[in-house]
């Protein structure tokens, strides 16, 4: 087990490193000059030169990247002019745009994204697995058909359509809900929930379709397994068959996929965040991409990449825990 | 229940005299990423920043054209010029205090200006560097502690600026936040923006999420006595940004809960919202209209073929269909057709003229004729560069509108859409500049100088920085005239000369002016005292009352 | 571990049900929804292919402005009901510019289909190449490709697409670039699926038998594995295709997709979002087109999946797992 | 324990089961017109080849076809209850309460997530609703103890994967016992087990029957198993009963041809091989393994599948390898043809060390070492015609042109007893035995010197098994091939081997001329193996 962990952790590290290097290289060759963008709309050459020096943009790219990595491991000192700013490890550097610590920027954005991902996860688990189970149990019936079509429609609706629809319906026409603004959970849990409701629904609905289908097929598969037949042959009721024997096995892939999806939400909920103006990681990334704020872009990609990799490890562990037949190697 | 989902809330409505108190909500698109006075690049000291930073002078907080005037702020007057407007002297008012009660001194203003030279605090306008003696090499007070000699503070109340050349517009520029005082003892360099020391009516109590959430509260040490311009009615101002424009306008029009007392300082009504708002009397009453000195135009590189031939440029000027361009820019309510490069405002020196009268929808026949004269009887193939951003200014829609109009005149246009950063870099680079592209220019203050000089002054052709003189015009007559006008300290007199200069340049068809944008802004239903000056074109947040 | 579905109708257990094209067709035909979806897709393809013809029939083109059809003073809202539907403009005009919506929607269909299908092809090819190489290659190749796949999967697609769009010269044709970008960035899932399936197949004796003939790896991959991979790959491709269409729309929505003035549904939607009150048709039309297209592809893919392999239909998740294998318990002997 | 009444325990009258097929409107008649009765306490074996409808008939006894779409006609009475007419509640009572079923695969038939004791307790509580949780647990331990699980109280807390195959099968039987049913239906309860374990389970069933007086219906394809466990025999073919009567009688004097055929095909472990092929030349050593080793996995989890095996194979001889499941037979066989690379030791083919050669280096003599695989389904590519599969080695060799290849393939097909026109048909169009013939043809195609047959007949019916074994013998003699014949069935191996190798835990425990090993086994393990083989002769069966 320790060996497995060690290997996976090393693999994860490699993935994140490669990812960051690729990002660095890609953005390095992208047009646009970070110094000019940081300097402001009407910088003169002297100012640009100074800013470029300030941001160490004159160093060769590998050196810049190396310093960036160094900062992550051992922190970095920056001059603020009047003093020294120590950016503690893991230090992802300072934003080109306004010298904010990238680590802070990300930490500030995490709650919104985590709120979104968590809530959406609850939605898709409740809705997705719920409808999935229902359609598995009512297979062949009208309920199943209706649910199948609903989930198909769900997968076919991009978040910028469903989100728009929800906004129009609940905020503009019915006026049941305010236009969402992010309220931190700690400030006011109730308002947090009300404001997150629509983003949760929009993202959750999209994902729940996938989960409904997965749950259904997984349930059917499990119900067809031999050990279910055993208990059926001993006179167990259909309900107890499902509750006591089928559910656990059927849920294994769902749990594993949930973990993996939760991880990828950190990078993939971008559209939802843009749609609803949530100050999350995705929004940070899109904005940083547009201004070639390299430290921010690379840091966010590393963080989201790490989230994906860790989530995949967790998913595998959960899968192994839920399904005894799985062997980790 | 969700806060503010119920439609109506208590509130005085928009009529009645404005009173102090209440909370104003500002719903904005762009977060206030920069808040350091040295790094801000704003016309007239900005909107939110000017609530916290007082400057030597400030813009007149009045509606319309009155609002383009410059008035004293920290200083007793708008500045005393001497030596052909090369030296400017200011005296500070009495009783000026920071939020912590300490007095504001001339040295603080000097320090504030000097900070803006520090590369750590990049972002501000370039004028100080170009104007102040020694400014071109000065590296800011962190590297060069002895300061800039061309700024003198003979006593605690007096500050003198020594310039390389005459600048009659200095009082206008002194409205920018670089002229806000910064107490040296409280300066934390790059981190100053986190806790700036307020000299204005409000102080920053919260600045979170990279400027997305800001909360301002009254500064107890600000006194209305010394500040005739800012009203500061609300007790508290909450800025929420990072919102989609559509959401901002929806929220303003719905006006639920706190949104009833909300405004926006950066989001216009888009065409779609305008269409909706104009259909609703109540909403229409809540729309303010503003003009900001701004021109969208076609820029040529007259050094490149075929635009080196004035006839070709003129043909294009004749062929342009300003009606469809205006429609693509949001319709006649949001854009006014332009034939002059200067904005259509008196303060800029606007002199109406139209050297190539094309009418509302273009004059294809005249264009064809000119082309024929230029030897392009079979038509002409050209490339038009634009940005792919959906911004109603340099956007593909406008490019397509032009493409369609030029086609009538036998000019086949190939469109080249560039990504925003790419577009920005290419169009402002001497080497990579496209030969024909959609461009725009806005004024740093309402005067002809900052409008014409960067675009047509030959000495402002920037080799390895941002170049705005796309036509690379380097005409000593024009350059001299610019210098001459800059010596004039009487704004009205200068404006006339700017207008004449504009007309003279316009005849060369170095650009084809297309339209001037118009800003429509929606405010919450409880918002009173809406003031929109022609300086900024947007609602002045320092005048708004919510009670 | 082979677990059979209760609904299994294939008496033979084993690798995969032998399914000739005829059987697949028969099973596909039995599903009305799949047929309906296929009809919709066929219609769509026809519309997309015949777009120039239809435009000529309507007498409009995608980029002509009609200043007189919009109310300039009111932000350019189309004059007339239902977004300006008329005999000349069958689906009305675009607000502001007055461009013909029918032609623009059709051109959008071309882009969507082209990018969707093209990107899927790239993904399939890359996925097959990498997956097969990983399954057949040595330990080093396998782990290198495994990590590469991990990197691809951990990569936030949209961000890279945004960066890529900026890097590539402006005159490179955008739809082609989109095809390459989406294809290049999003093949991880396919590679994992192919690898898992191929690994499963290589454990089967017929592959051992092929090795005994002295066949090279490439021959084994081509002759023995590819035919059996067809079903799962087609099935997964049918899932990827609508997803790719949505990605294209999302990218255009974010402004990094097809370059205007070339119309695309996502880009229309992004400008349309503000118009939902003043001109609802402008939102509904592209939204509906996108929805119907993805739905049709999804439904058809679903049908195809069941038709291709009724037993495997429910087991698409396989592709995801990398380092876990299901084995029927390694219990000892008595 | 059970009240013995005059009414028979099971009455099946004119039972037919039909399955609708997925494609088209055809139906599969799995069982047609089956009738039999079983008295209380009686034991009946249902035998027949694969697909003859044995399981389908057994399922009908518990009404397990209900709700699956199968069409069941005729009457089935179990313990007086009409299974067809019973409502859901009555049916649930019947299942487990009156009749309990033991399924074939002991691993997949248990819930992998729950402790075995809990599963048994759950089943007990289903039929004793009054019993408390604790009482049910106690009962579970009791029955586990009864079926011979050592330290039952502790092992009741184990999960299925912690049990060995035999223990799992015992647990399944214990589960049935927990409900004290009057009838035990066992569907191939021992096919997944080694002979030694099989013997134990059959013994257990016998004991239980004597002790509790319950009836037994044993479904099996193995006549030997049937002979040793029951008094009555029902032979099925194509869904119909072919012969029905006392076991001894049928075995001694089969009346029907089919039964006779079936009996004749059963390999006997105590019958010598008729013609012993003598190696052509005593010195012509073809393949020589010295201290061969193979490990799987890394670190602590390393499994040594084959350990220090030395073996010589001479041209033209047949070497049999036997051993229980997991003893390393397959691994050894695959190493011999270099499908697997040995971890250690030496492997010499015609004097050349081929143990460490790369795939590329092996190519030149790949064709000389061939293999026939166990599973006729997975050993042929379902997407390619059998002709193509057979032609493959010829095409790779590239010596013949297309027409010559086709001709040769047709010749080979004919040689293994198939229609030459089968060239263009696909594997699924063949029966198991035919597919195995295709596999043999493929192995023969490159004219090999050695063929390793890895359990080539274990997946086949006895009748087909006999045909294939015969074919292999013929070919070997004709072509002078060396054959390594791997099987767990000692009787089958005896029919073909000149020499015999007995493996256990990866090592060779005994090796020698076949007859010597069979008749005078020296190693205790070999002796145990031989003793556990079920005997067909009634006299032996009861012994
Ligand atoms: N669910 C089903 N649907 C369709 N056909 C079926 C089904 N179950 C069994 N059959 C068919 O019914 C016939 C009898 O099957 P059954 O499983 O009873 O045979 P068996 O004698 O038990 O064989 P084996 O020894 O292989 O277990 C076979 O032809 C089989 O293919
Ligand atoms: N690829 C593999 N990876 C790990 N362990 C393996 C592998 N192949 C075989 N083993 C292990 O090696 C041992 C010997 O396996 P092998 O298949 O050679 O046995 P066998 O005698 O052929 O058994 P059976 O009669 O069941 O076919 C077993 O413990 C098995 O679990
Ligand atoms: Mg059976
Ligand atoms: Mg084996």
User: Given pLDDT bands bounded at 50, 70 and 90, which one contains residue C13?
Assistant: very low
Which residues on chain B are in Cβ contact (under 8 Å) with C274?
245-246, 249, 270-273
Asked if residue C328 has pLDDT above 70, the reply is: no
Q: Which atom of ligand 2 is nearest to the CA of D297?
A: 4
| Nearest protein Cα to ligand 1, atom 28 | D51
On average, the pLDDT of chain C sits at 78
Which residues on chain A are in Cβ contact (under 8 Å) with B251?
178-179
Asked if residue A259 has pLDDT above 90, the reply is: no
Nearest to C240 by CA among C155, C301, C303, C152: C301
Pocket-forming residues, ligand 1, beta carbon under 6 Å: C 11; D 19, 28, 30, 48, 50-56, 221
Nearest to D339 by CA among C206, B260, A238: C206
* pLDDT for residue D138: 93
Longest dimension (CA), chain A: 87
B23-27, strands of its sheet edge to edge: B202-208, B213-218, B236-240, B23-27, B262-263
* R_g of chain C computed on alpha carbons: 24
- Peptide bond between residue D228 and the one before it cis (omega within 30 degrees of 0): no
Q: Which atom of ligand 1 is nearest to the CA of C9?
A: 3
Strand partners, B289: B520
Of D194, D326, D442, nearest to C209 by CB-CB distance is D442
Least confident of B83-87, B192-196, D535-539: D535-539
Q: How many angstroms separate the CA atoms of B188 and D253, rounded?
A: 108
B505 Cα to the center of ligand 1, angstroms: 95
User: Given pLDDT bands bounded at 50, 70 and 90, which one contains residue C312?
Assistant: very low
How do residues A186-212 score in pLDDT, each as one tens digit?
Answer: 888 888 998 899 999 888 888 887 788
* pLDDT for residue B509: 92
Q: How many angstroms separate the CA atoms of D535 and D543, rounded?
A: 9
* R_g of chain B computed on alpha carbons: 24
By CA distance, what is D102's nearest residue in A? A230
* Residues B52 and B198 sit within 8 Å (Cβ to Cβ): yes
The mean pLDDT value for B159-172 works out to 94
Query: β-strands D285-296, D303-314: how paired?
Result: antiparallel
Q: How many angstroms separate the CA atoms of B514 and B255, rounded?
A: 36
* pLDDT for residue D99: 92
* pLDDT for residue C6: 23
Chain B and chain C share a number of CB contacts under 8 A equal to 121
By CA distance, what is C154's nearest residue in A? A305
Q: Which of D59, D78, D103, D112 should we substitute to test contact with A (largest number of A Cβ atoms within 10 Å)?
A: D112
Asked if residue A179 has pLDDT above 60, the reply is: yes
* Residues D288 and D336 sit within 8 Å (Cβ to Cβ): no
Higher pLDDT, D342 or D69: D342
Q: What is the 3-state secondary structure (H, E, C) of D372-419?
A: ECCCCCCCCCCCCCHHHHHHHHHHHHCCCCHHHHHHHHHHHHHHCCCC
The SS3 call for residue B150 is: coil
Q: Which of D330, D459, D484, D506 to mutate to test the pocket of ligand 2 (most atoms within 8 A of CB)?
A: D330
> Per the CB < 8 Å rule, is A286 touching C254?
yes
By CA distance, what is B279's nearest residue in C? C74
User: Given pLDDT bands bounded at 50, 70 and 90, which one contains residue C10?
Assistant: very low
Asked if residue D21 has pLDDT above 80, the reply is: no
Chains D, B in contact, 3 or more Cβ pairs below 8 Å? no
How do residues D406-425 score in pLDDT, each as one tens digit?
Answer: 999 999 999 888 888 888 88
Number of separate helices (H) and strands (E) present in chain B: 15, 18
How do residues D460-514 score in pLDDT, each as one tens digit?
Answer: 888 888 888 888 888 888 888 899 999 888 888 888 888 999 999 899 999 999 8
C250 Cα to the center of ligand 2, angstroms: 50
User: Given pLDDT bands bounded at 50, 70 and 90, which one contains residue B31?
Assistant: confident
Q: How many angstroms separate the CA atoms of A197 and A183, rounded?
A: 12
* Residues C40 and C292 sit within 8 Å (Cβ to Cβ): yes
The mean pLDDT value for C157-184 works out to 79
Strand partners, D502: D322, D510
User: Given pLDDT bands bounded at 50, 70 and 90, which one contains residue D179?
Assistant: confident
Which residues on chain B are in Cβ contact (under 8 Å) with A85?
190-191
Nearest to D236 by CA among D62, D34, D37: D34
Q: Catalogue all structural domains in chain A, each as residue range(s) with its CATH number.
A: 32-91 (no CATH), 103-326 (1.10.3720.10)
Least confident of B518-522, D109-113, D330-334: D109-113
Q: Is B46 left (phi over 0), alpha (psi -120 to 50) or beta?
A: left
Q: How many angstroms separate the CA atoms of A20 and C151, rounded?
A: 10
| ipTM (interface predicted TM) | 0.81
Q: How many angstroms separate the CA atoms of C334 and D293, rounded?
A: 24
What does the DSSP 8-state code read for residue A124?
Answer: I
Chain B neighbors (3+ CB pairs < 8 Å): A, C
Nearest to C94 by CA among B327, B320, B520: B327
Q: How many angstroms separate the CA atoms of B396 and C270, rounded?
A: 14
Question: How far from B505 is each of B264, B516, D1, D253, CA to CA, in Å?
Answer: 37, 18, 118, 122
Q: How many angstroms separate the CA atoms of A205 and C76, rounded?
A: 35
User: Given pLDDT bands bounded at 50, 70 and 90, which one contains residue D282?
Assistant: low
Question: How far from B214 is each of A299, B121, B194, B293, C293, CA to CA, in Å?
Answer: 25, 21, 11, 28, 44
> Per the CB < 8 Å rule, is C323 touching A329?
yes
DSSP sequence for D80-124: TEETTT--HHHHHHHHHHTEEEE-S-TTTTS-TTS-HHHHHHHHH
By CA distance, what is A31's nearest residue in B? B422
The SS3 call for residue B71 is: strand
pTM above 0.95, yes or no: no
How do residues D239-280 score in pLDDT, each as one tens digit?
Answer: 899 999 998 888 888 898 989 888 888 888 777 776 655 555
The mean pLDDT value for C139-149 works out to 85
* pLDDT for residue B339: 93
User: Given pLDDT bands bounded at 50, 70 and 90, which one contains residue B485?
Assistant: very high
* pLDDT for residue C309: 61
Q: Is D521 left (phi over 0), alpha (psi -120 to 50) or beta?
A: beta
How do residues A229-249 score in pLDDT, each as one tens digit?
Answer: 889 888 888 888 888 888 877
The mean pLDDT value for A299-313 works out to 86
Asked if residue B276 has pLDDT above 90, the reply is: no
Asked if residue B376 has pLDDT above 80, the reply is: yes
Asked if residue D103 has pLDDT above 60, the reply is: yes
Asked if residue A327 has pLDDT above 70, the reply is: no
* pLDDT for residue B522: 92
* pLDDT for residue B237: 95
The mean pLDDT value for C45-71 works out to 86
What percent of chain B has a predicted confidence (pLDDT) above 90? 62
HSE-CB at B57 with a 13 A cutoff on CA atoms is: 23
Number of separate helices (H) and strands (E) present in chain C: 13, 3
> Per the CB < 8 Å rule, is D123 touching A237?
no
* pLDDT for residue B334: 92
How do residues D345-387 score in pLDDT, each as one tens digit?
Answer: 999 988 888 888 887 888 888 888 999 998 877 888 888 888 9
Asked if residue D68 has pLDDT above 60, the reply is: yes
| Nearest protein Cα to ligand 2, atom 13 | D305
């Amino acid at each position: 087990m320790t060996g497995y962990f060690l290997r996976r952790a090393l693999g994860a590290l490699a993935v994140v490193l490669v990812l960051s290097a690729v990002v660095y290289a890609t953005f390095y060759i992208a047009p646009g000059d970070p110094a000019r963008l940081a300097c402001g709309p009407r910088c003169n050459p002297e100012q640009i030169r100074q800013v470029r020096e300030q941001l160490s943009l004159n160093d060769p790219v590998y050196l810049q990247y190396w310093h960036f990595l160094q900062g992550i491991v051992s922190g970095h000192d920056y001059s603020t002019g009047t003093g020294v700013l120590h950016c503690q490890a893991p230090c992802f550097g300072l934003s080109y745009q306004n010298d904010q610590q990238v680590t802070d920027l990300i930490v500030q954005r995490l709650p919104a994204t985590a709120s979104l991902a968590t809530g959406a996860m609850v939605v898709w688990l409740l809705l997705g697995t719920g409808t999935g189970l229902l359609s598995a149990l009512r297979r062949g019936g009208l309920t199943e058909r209706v649910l199948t079509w609903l989930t198909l429609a769900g997968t076919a609706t991009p978040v910028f359509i469903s989100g728009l629809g929800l906004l129009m319906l609940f905020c503009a026409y019915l006026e049941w809900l305010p236009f969402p603004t992010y309220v931190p959970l700690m400030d006011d849990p109730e308002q947090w929930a009300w404001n997150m409701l629509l983003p949760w629904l929009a993202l959750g609905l999209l994902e729940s379709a996938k989960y409904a289908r997965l749950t259904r097929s997984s349930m059917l598969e499990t119900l067809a397994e031999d050990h279910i037949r055993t208990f059926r042959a001993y006179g167990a009721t259909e309900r107890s068959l499902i509750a006591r024997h089928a559910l656990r096995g059927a849920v294994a892939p769902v749990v594993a996929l949930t973990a993996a999806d939760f991880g990828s939400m950190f990078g993939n909920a971008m559209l939802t965040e843009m749609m609803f103006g949530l100050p999350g990681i995705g929004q940070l990334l899109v904005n940083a991409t547009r201004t070639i704020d390299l430290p921010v872009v690379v840091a966010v990609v590393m963080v989201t990449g790490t989230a994906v990799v860790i989530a995949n490890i967790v998913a595998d562990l959960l899968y192994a825990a839920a399904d005894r037949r799985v062997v980790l190697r | 229940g969700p806060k503010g989902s119920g439609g109506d809330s208590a509130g005085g409505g928009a009529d009645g005299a404005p009173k102090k108190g209440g909370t104003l909500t500002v719903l904005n698109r762009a977060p206030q990423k920069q808040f350091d006075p040295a790094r801000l690049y704003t016309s007239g000291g900005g909107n939110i920043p000017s609530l916290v930073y007082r400057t030597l002078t400030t813009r007149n907080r009045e509606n319309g054209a009155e609002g383009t005037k410059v008035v004293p702020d920290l200083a007793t007057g708008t500045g005393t010029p001497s030596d052909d407007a090369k030296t400017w002297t200011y005296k500070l008012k009495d009783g000026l205090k920071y939020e912590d009660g300490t007095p504001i001194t001339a040295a603080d203003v000097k320090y504030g200006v000097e900070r803006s030279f520090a590369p750590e605090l990049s972002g501000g306008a370039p004028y100080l560097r170009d104007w102040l003696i020694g400014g071109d090499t000065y590296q800011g007070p962190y590297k060069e502690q002895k300061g800039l000699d061309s700024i003198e503070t003979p006593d605690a109340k007096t500050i003198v600026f020594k310039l390389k050349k005459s600048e009659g517009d200095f009082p206008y520029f002194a409205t920018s936040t670089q002229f806000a005082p910064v107490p040296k003892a409280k300066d934390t360099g790059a981190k100053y923006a986190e806790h700036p020391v307020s000299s204005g009516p409000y102080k920053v109590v919260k600045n979170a999420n990279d400027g997305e959430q800001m909360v301002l509260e009254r500064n107890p040490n600000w006194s209305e006595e010394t500040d005739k311009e800012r009203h500061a009615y609300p007790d508290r101002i909450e800025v929420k940004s990072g919102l989609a424009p559509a959401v901002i306008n929806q929220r303003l029009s719905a006006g639920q809960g706190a949104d009833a007392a909300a405004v926006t300082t950066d989001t216009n009504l888009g065409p779609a919202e305008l269409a909706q708002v104009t259909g609703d009397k109540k909403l229409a009453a809540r729309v303010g209209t503003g003009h900001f000195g701004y021109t969208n135009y076609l820029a040529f590189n007259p050094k490149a073929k075929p635009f080196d031939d004035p006839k070709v440029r003129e043909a294009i000027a004749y062929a342009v269909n300003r009606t469809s361009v205006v429609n693509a820019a949001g319709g006649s309510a949001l854009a006014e057709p332009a034939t002059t490069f200067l904005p259509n405002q008196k303060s800029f020196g606007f002199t109406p003229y139209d050297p190539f009268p094309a009418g509302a929808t273009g004059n294809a026949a005249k264009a064809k004729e000119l082309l024929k004269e230029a030897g392009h009887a079979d038509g002409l193939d050209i490339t038009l560069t634009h940005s792919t951003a959906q911004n109603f200014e340099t956007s593909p829609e406008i490019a397509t509108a032009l493409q369609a109009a030029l086609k009538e005149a036998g000019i086949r246009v190939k469109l080249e859409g560039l990504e925003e950063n790419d577009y920005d870099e290419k169009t402002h680079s001497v080497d990579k500049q496209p030969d024909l592209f959609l461009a725009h220019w806005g004024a740093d203050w309402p005067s002809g100088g900052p409008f014409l000089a960067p675009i047509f002054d030959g000495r402002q052709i920037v080799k390895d920085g941002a170049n705005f003189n796309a036509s690379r015009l380097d005409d000593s007559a024009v350059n001299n005239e610019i210098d001459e006008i800059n010596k004039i300290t009487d704004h009205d007199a200068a404006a006339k000369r700017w207008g004449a200069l504009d007309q003279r340049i316009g005849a060369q068809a170095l650009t084809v002016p297309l339209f001037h944008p118009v800003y429509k802004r929606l405010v919450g239903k409880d918002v009173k005292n809406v003031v929109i000056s022609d300086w900024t074109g947007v609602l002045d947040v320092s005048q708004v009352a919510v009670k | 571990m082979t677990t059979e579905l209760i609904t299994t109708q294939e008496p033979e257990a084993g690798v995969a049900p032998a399914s000739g094209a005829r059987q697949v067709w028969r099973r596909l035909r039995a599903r009305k929804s799949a047929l309906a979806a296929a009809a919709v897709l066929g219609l769509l393809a026809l519309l997309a292919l015949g777009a120039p013809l239809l435009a000529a029939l309507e007498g409009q083109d995608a980029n002509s402005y009609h200043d007189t059809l919009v109310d300039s003073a009111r932000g350019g809202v189309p004059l007339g009901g239902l977004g300006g539907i008329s005999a000349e403009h069958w689906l009305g005009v675009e607000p502001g510019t007055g461009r013909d919506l029918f032609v623009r929607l059709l051109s959008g269909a071309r882009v969507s289909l082209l990018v969707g299908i093209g990107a899927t092809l790239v993904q399939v090819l890359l996925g097959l190449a990498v997956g097969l190489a990983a399954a057949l290659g040595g330990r080093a190749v396998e782990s290198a490709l495994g990590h590469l796949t991990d990197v691809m999967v951990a990569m936030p697609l949209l961000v890279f697409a945004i960066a890529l769009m900026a890097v590539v010269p402006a005159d490179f044709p955008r739809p082609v670039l989109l095809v390459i970008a989406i294809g290049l960035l999003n093949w991880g899932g396919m590679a994992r699926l192919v690898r898992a399936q191929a690994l499963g197949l290589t454990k089967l004796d017929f592959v051992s038998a092929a090795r005994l003939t002295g066949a090279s790896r490439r021959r084994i991959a081509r002759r023995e594995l590819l035919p059996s991979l067809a079903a799962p790959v087609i099935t997964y491709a049918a899932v990827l295709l609508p997803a790719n269409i949505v990605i294209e729309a999302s990218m255009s929505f974010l402004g990094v997709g097809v370059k205007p003035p070339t119309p695309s549904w996502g880009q229309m939607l992004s400008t349309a979002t503000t118009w939902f009150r003043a001109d609802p048709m402008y939102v509904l039309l592209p939204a509906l087109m996108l929805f119907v297209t993805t739905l049709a592809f999804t439904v058809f893919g679903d049908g195809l999946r069941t038709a291709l392999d009724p037993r495997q239909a429910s087991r698409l998740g396989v592709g995801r797992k990398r380092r876990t294998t299901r084995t029927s318990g390694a219990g000892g002997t008595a | 324990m059970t009240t013995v009444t005059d009414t028979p325990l099971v009455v099946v009258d004119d039972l037919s089961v039909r399955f609708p097929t997925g494609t088209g409107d055809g139906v599969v008649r799995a069982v047609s017109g089956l009738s039999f009765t079983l008295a209380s306490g009686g034991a009946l074996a249902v035998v027949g080849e694969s697909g003859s409808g044995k399981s389908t008939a057994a399922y009908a006894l518990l009404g397990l076809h209900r709700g699956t779409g199968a069409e069941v006609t005729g009457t089935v009475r179990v313990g007086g209850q009409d299974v067809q007419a019973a409502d859901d509640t009555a049916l649930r009572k019947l299942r487990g309460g009156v009749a309990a079923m033991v399924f074939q695969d002991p691993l997949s038939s248990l819930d992998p997530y729950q402790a075995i004791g809990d599963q048994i307790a759950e089943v007990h509580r289903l039929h004793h609703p009054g019993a408390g949780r604790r009482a049910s647990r106690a009962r579970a331990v009791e029955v586990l103890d009864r079926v011979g699980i050592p330290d039952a109280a502790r092992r009741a807390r184990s999960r299925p994967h912690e049990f060995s195959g035999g223990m799992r099968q015992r647990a399944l039987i214990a589960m049935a016992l927990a409900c004290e049913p009057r009838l035990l239906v066992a569907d191939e309860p021992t096919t997944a087990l080694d002979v030694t374990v099989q013997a134990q389970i059959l013994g257990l069933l016998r004991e239980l029957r004597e002790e509790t007086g319950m009836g037994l219906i044993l479904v099996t394809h193995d006549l030997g198993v049937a002979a040793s466990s029951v008094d009555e025999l029902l032979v099925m073919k194509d869904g119909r009963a072919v012969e029905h009567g006392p076991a001894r009688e049928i075995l001694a004097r089969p009346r029907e041809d089919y039964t006779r055929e079936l009996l004749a095909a059963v390999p006997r472990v105590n019958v010598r091989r008729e013609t012993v092929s003598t190696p052509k030349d005593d010195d012509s050593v073809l393949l020589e393994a010295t201290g061969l080793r193979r490990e799987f996995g890394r670190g602590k989890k390393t499994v040594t599948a084959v350990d220090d095996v030395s073996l010589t194979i001479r041209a033209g001889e047949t070497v049999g390898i036997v051993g229980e499941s997991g003893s390393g037979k397959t691994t050894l066989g695959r190493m011999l043809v270099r499908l697997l690379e040995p971890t250690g030791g030496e492997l010499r083919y015609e004097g050349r060390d081929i143990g460490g050669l790369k795939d590329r280096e092996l190519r030149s003599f790949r064709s000389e070492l061939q293999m026939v695989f166990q599973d006729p389904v997975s050993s042929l590519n379902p997407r390619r015609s059998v002709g193509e599969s057979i032609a493959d080695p010829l095409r790779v060799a590239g010596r013949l042109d297309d027409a010559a290849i086709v001709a040769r393939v047709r010749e080979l097909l004919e040689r293994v007893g198939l229609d030459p026109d089968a060239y263009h048909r696909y594997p699924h169009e063949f029966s198991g035995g035919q597919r195995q013939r295709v596999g043999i043809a493929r192995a023969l195609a490159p004219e090999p010197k050695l063929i390793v047959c890895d359990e080539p007949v274990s997946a086949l019916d006895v009748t087909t098994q006999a045909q294939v074994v015969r074919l292999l013998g013929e070919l070997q003699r004709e072509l002078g091939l060396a054959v390594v014949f791997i099987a767990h069935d000692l009787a089958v191996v005896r029919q073909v081997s000149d020499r015999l190798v007995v493996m256990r835990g990866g090592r060779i425990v005994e090796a020698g001329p076949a007859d010597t090993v069979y008749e005078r086994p020296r190693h205790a393990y070999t002796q145990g193996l031989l003793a556990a083989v079920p005997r067909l002769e009634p006299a032996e069966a009861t012994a």
